[in-house]
Structures are given as C-alpha cells and as structure tokens.
Structure 1
Amino acid sequence: MRGAFDILATSGWIVLLVAGASALACFLILRCLLSTGLAWRIATDVPNHRSLHATPIPRVGGWGIVPVSLAALLWHASQMWLIAAAAAALAMVSQIDDRRDLPARVRFAAHFAAVVALIVFRPADAPWWLLAGIGFLMLWMINLYNFMDGADGLAGGMALFGFAAYGAAALAGGSPSPALAVVCAAIAGAALGFLFLNFHPAKLFLGDAGSITLGFLAGALGYWGWRGDVWPLWFPAIVFSTFIADASITLLRRLCRGEKFWQAHREHYYQRMVRSGVGHRRTAIYWYATMLAAVILAFWALSRPAWEQWLIFAVWYGVLGCCGLIIDARWRTFQAAHTK
C-alpha cells in the first residue's frame, strides 16, 4: 500500500510538471506566431454578421495546442498512438477548412472516419449497440466543441477544466492510469497557455484545427478512460456538460425549425449572454464557475452508488436546463427593450 501511494505521489508531481511545461510550450509557440506575423498568414477570422468580435483575429490556437497534445500522447502513452494519429489527421483537415472552407460532407466524413477507426480497432467490452451510441456521441462532441468556440476564453476554459478533471480522475480513481493522467494534464496545460492569449480581449482564436481536435480528444480520451475502467460512462458527460447542454439544446431548436444546424449562427446561450450586455469577460467567468461546479459534482458522484450517480447526472442536466431558461428570459427582456 505504501509503495502504491508513493507511485501516485510521484506521478502527481510528474503530472504537474508536464502541465506546466505544456502551458509554457503552447504559449511560446503561439506568441512566436503572433510576433513574427505568421499567425495572420496561416488563418485569419474576418468578422461577419454572426461574429461576436469586430476586428480580424488570427485563428491559430490549434498550432500551439495540437503539437503539445500529440507529443504527450506519443511520448507518454504510446498505446494511444491511434488517438494521436486520428487527432493529427483531423487537425490537418480542419486547418485546410480554416483556410479554404471545406464542404460539410468532407468535414463530417473525416470526423466519422476518426471515430469509427478508434472504436473498431480499440473496441471496449460492450454490446455493439452501446459502442454505436458512444460513437455517435463522440461525433457530436467533435462538432459541438467547434460550435461552442465563439467567445473569448470559452473553449480554452472548457479544455482546461475538462482535461484537468480527466487527469485528476485518471490519477486518483479506482483504476489509476498515470499515462492517461499525464496526457490529459498536457492538454489542460496547453489550454492554459492558449488562454493567456485568448482571454478577453483575445489576441487569437482557437480555429477549427484546435476546436475539432479538442472535441475529438475530449470524446476519445473519455471513451478510453471508460474502456479502461478509469471512470464510469457518465463521467465525461458531466465534466463537459456545460458545452454539451448548450450545444444540444441549440441544435434541437434549429432542427425543429428546419434550419441547417451546421451553419454558423448566434443562438447559443453564451452568444446570447455576450450580446445582451454580459460581455465576453463576465460570460467566461460565469461559465468557468459552472464548469468548476460540474467537475466538483462529478468527483463527488464517483463516491456514490451507481443508481445515485445516474440520478446526480440527470439532476445536474436539469439544473443546466433551468440556467438556460434564465438566460432565455434575460434575452427576451433585452430584445423587447431594444425593439421599442
């Protein structure tokens, strides 16, 4: 028992060192791209009627986060090489999309291929229908992360809180996985390095190369942890619940109206908060508080019986739904005041 404790303590220090080094590496890479002007040549986000910003901003955050994440996957967890390969492929396709606006069918085909490859070649011991459902949820995670990347500090903050939670659970859970903990710590650290340049007023954006890859990693590593009995199936869904709830409700609304859900818009809850006067900075802080609450709740639920865990899961999503109703009410009041 003493030896196991020492191993976990040593792993904890390694995880912290990796997170710090990743934050520094990501920050330096992105700062170099900005200072040399390369960031503007790689990809620039030009404002349109759906944007929440008013001036062109480089969208190269993925150029800092992705290399650091892939290096951690290959160096510290070589058994996850398939995740690294799929993430690299998605990053490349998404970078092309950042510059040339690829057709939706091409993007979705790449997402589908990455998810299918992971589940087919690294299947969990579960019924086929459950794996198919998980694959669908992973596809949704990829796309919803991209949909939610639209306000300063938001997507980077979700990556920081989400992957930090993964790392802590992988280290201290019932079936510890130090390698998974190190990888998640590296991604969380890279997200922190990115946030130094993305928090309002943002100097750069994440871009599809960053958001699509982070969405895939959130789903893939969540699946990997469940597959290895590191955490229950519901754990990733609570950790990333703030993004999942917002994007899912917005999608259902758009589908009910017969709209093309993959097209950019300004109907997400975070967009309504920014547009109604809360602003980028306070919106991010409110969301960070909700993300932290979700992480704390997820860790508390791990200690409860299985039926209570799923009850907590359902109640938490109900709470998020109530938060959405409050934002909707504020938005209606704002619209009424500005249409008189």
Structure 2
Amino acid sequence: MDLQALQISPWAITLIVAVVSACLCATILFTLLKTGLAWRLATDVPNDRSLHVRPTPRVGGWGIVPVVVVIMLLMAPTLWCAGLATAFLAAVSQVDDRRGLPARLRFVAHLAAVLLFVVLFPAAAPWWLLCMLAVLMVWLVNLYNFMDGADGLAGGMALFGFSAYAIAALICNHPMAELALASAAIAAAAVGFLLFNFYPARIFLGDAGSISLGFLAGALGYWGWRGGEWPIWFPAMIFSPFIADASVTLARRLLRGERFWQAHREHYYQRMVRSGIGHAKTALTWYVLMVAGIMLACCALGRSVIFQSCVLAVWIAVLCTAGALVDLRWRRFQSTLSDN
C-alpha cells in the first residue's frame, strides 16, 4: 500500500493497523472460547512433562494467524510469500495439534517454507551465507515451538520482538513501512492472545501459533536485513532470550544422548516455574530480559562496528549470567528435594 498517496504518517497507519489486529485477534479467541469451539479444535491434555494441570484449548494460532496473514496480504503485499508460507505452516501445524504428525514430515514442511522464501527473495550475499541463514531460520521455527510452554512467555516474546522490528523499520526508512505494518500487526495480535494466555492461561498458543511466529520472526528478520534496514545480528539479538534457552538446552540433551525432539521440562523457563517462581513471575522476569535486549539492540543500530560488537559482548555476558543464576537456583532446588 502506498502510504504517501494516503497522506498519512507511517507511524499513524501502523498504530491503526496494530489496534485493528489486536481487536480482531481478541474477538476471534473470545468467540472460540464462548462458543466452546476452542475445545473441539485442539486441546492440550496435561502429562508428566507439562507445567499445567488442567486441559486447555490450543487455539492461539486461530486468532493470530488469520488476522496477521490477511493484514499482510492487504497492507504489505511485498511480503505475500511470507504470509502464504505462514498460512501453510499453520495448516500443517493445526493437523499436528489435532492428530499428531511425524517429526520428519513437520521438518520437511518447515524446510520447504523457509527455502521457498529465501529462493524467491535472495539477498545480495554469497550462497553459503544464504544456506546458513536458511538453516538458522528453520531452527528458529522449531525453537519458538520448544519455548511455548509457560503462560504468557511465547506471546510476550512476540509482542516485544515484533514491536522492535516495527520500530526499527519505521525509524530506519519509510520505504520499509510495509515491514513495519506486518511487524506491528503480529505484535498487536500477540496482545489479543495474551489477554487469554497470561497466567492463569485460558488458551495456549498451540503449534499452529508457535510455528507460525517462529517462521515470521526469521522471515521478517531476514527481510529487514535483505533490505538494508538492520545488520544481520539484529534479529538474532532481538529474539536472543529464546534462542539462547533453546540452543543451550538442545546442546545439553545432545551431549547426554537424549532424543532432543521429545517433550521435556529442562528449559530455563521451565526450571524457573518448577523451582517455585511460578508462571506469572517467570513471564515478567523474561519480559524484563527481552526489553533490555531490545533496547540495547535498537541503541546499537547505526553505530560503529566496534560499538555494536561491544553491545553484543555485553549482552552475551548478561545472558550467560542469567542462565548461571537459573542453574544455581535449580541445583539448590534439587538439593532441597533430595534432602526431603
């Protein structure tokens, strides 16, 4: 959409799109809950690896994905491929939510969506770098799903992460206003979802929601880098709390020879909940961490390479310290259980 032809400030129309997105998402989810349809679409039944104790509908994706895809196709047509790929992944993931799909089939779907996007819209970079980025984007799709296990956590990451994309796109350049509109729509849809997902959650995101958000985090991050709006490290730093937790947990499980694709309760956020911090305080603690990283990342944009490198080094140290503190608390908690 040509914003200049409308003679409306990109900031104003982005805000309007965000409000519409949040209202539509909240309305859809409220309707699903009110009519009872949410329970028939997909329900998460607790097991020994769950952090919740009551069966809960997994329909967050039903509110987020349709709203975001329609807004992207109407307001950000240059991102049509990302929108259609998101709809495809949501459809495959909904089948997985309902009936369960083999991990290989899910992986093929994730890989196909990412490769299609990168092949159709290649950046001016060496082929090997594009291949590496495609692999990292597939990992982001899956790790977002892994990190969807505590009330308010994945929705909060979407709210803050895509808000950062929107702000950075608007500040850097008006030609990237479509990227800002798409990002704002996703962040606002997350607000509509969080109204029902913050502790105690009435609905969960489900694979249809988490897989879609993971793909969009990678796809829009790649799009902004491809368009020169931010350096390659920016999307990674924005979503670094999720990336760090999932990657370290995966590495530990691989070293122990465990099947990393199986559900478990060893993520840092899961240990925080299980050690007595609880869902609400865990989510709020992560929100503070997310916002701190986003503020540092945005402040580093446009600065010298040395300044950006220093910011990255400081942030890595912060994440390592946060992880060490959680590990220390977990060991003390385990020791208390052993003594009892």
Q: Where do residues 21-170 of structure 1 align in structure 2 (5 Å cutoff)? A: 21-170=20-169
Q: Output the CA distance in 2 between the equivalents of 1:44 and 1:279.
A: 22
Q: Once the 2 structures are TM-superposed, how far is the Cα of residue 308 of structure 1 from its aligned partner?
A: 2.3
Which runs of structure 1 show a deviation greater than 6 angstroms over 4 or more consecutive aligned residues?
Answer: none
Q: Once the 2 structures are TM-superposed, how far is the Cα of residue 185 of structure 1 from its aligned partner?
A: 0.4
Partner of 2:295: 296
Partner of 1:249: 248
Contact 1:91/1:209 (8 A) holds in 2: yes
**Are positions 1:240 and 2:244 aligned together?**
no
Partner of 1:312: 311
Q: Output the CA distance in 2 between the equivalents of 1:327 and 1:17.
A: 40
Q: Once the 2 structures are TM-superposed, how far is the Cα of residue 83 of structure 1 from its aligned partner?
A: 0.9
Contact 2:10/2:174 (8 A) holds in 1: no
Instruction: Please list every run of 5 or more consecutive structure 1 residues that lacks an aligned counterpart in the other structure.
Output: none
Spell out, residue by residue over 1:117-151, the C-alpha distance to the aligned partner (whole angstroms, 9 max, x if none).
Answer: 11111100000111011101101100000000000
Q: Once the 2 structures are TM-superposed, how far is the Cα of residue 175 of structure 1 from its aligned partner?
A: 6.5
Partner of 2:202: 203
Q: Once the 2 structures are TM-superposed, how far is the Cα of residue 337 of structure 1 from its aligned partner?
A: 0.6
Q: Which letter does structure 2 place at the counterpart of 1:120?
A: V
Q: Which letter does structure 2 place at the counterpart of 1:274?
A: V
What is the TM-score normalised by the length of structure 2? 0.96
The alignment of Structure 1 onto Structure 2 pairs a total of residues equal to 337
Contact 2:78/2:178 (8 A) holds in 1: no
Spell out, residue by residue over 1:284-324, the C-alpha distance to the aligned partner (whole angstroms, 9 max, x if none).
Answer: 00000001101100111113202321332233122101110
Contact 1:157/1:195 (8 A) holds in 2: yes
Q: 1:9 to 1:320 in 2, by over 3 A?
A: farther
Q: Once the 2 structures are TM-superposed, how far is the Cα of residue 8 of structure 1 from its aligned partner?
A: 10
Q: Which letter does structure 2 place at the counterpart of 1:74?
A: L
Q: Output the CA distance in 2 between the equivalents of 1:230 and 1:175.
A: 10
Q: Output the CA distance in 2 between the equivalents of 1:26 and 1:130.
A: 36
Q: Once the 2 structures are TM-superposed, how far is the Cα of residue 250 of structure 1 from its aligned partner?
A: 0.4
Q: Output the CA distance in 1 between the equivalents of 2:77 and 2:299.
A: 31
Q: Output the CA distance in 2 between the equivalents of 1:313 and 1:254.
A: 26
Instruction: Please list every run of 5 or more consecutive structure 2 residues that lacks an aligned counterpart in the other structure.
Output: none
Compare 195-204 and 313-322 and name the one that shifted more. Answer: 313-322
Contact 1:46/1:56 (8 A) holds in 2: yes
Partner of 1:277: 276
Q: Which letter does structure 1 place at the counterpart of 2:163?
A: A
Contact 1:161/1:292 (8 A) holds in 2: yes
Q: Secondary structure at the match of 1:265?
A: coil
Partner of 1:266: 265
Q: Once the 2 structures are TM-superposed, how far is the Cα of residue 21 of structure 1 from its aligned partner?
A: 1.1
Q: Output the CA distance in 2 between the equivalents of 1:145 and 1:185.
A: 19
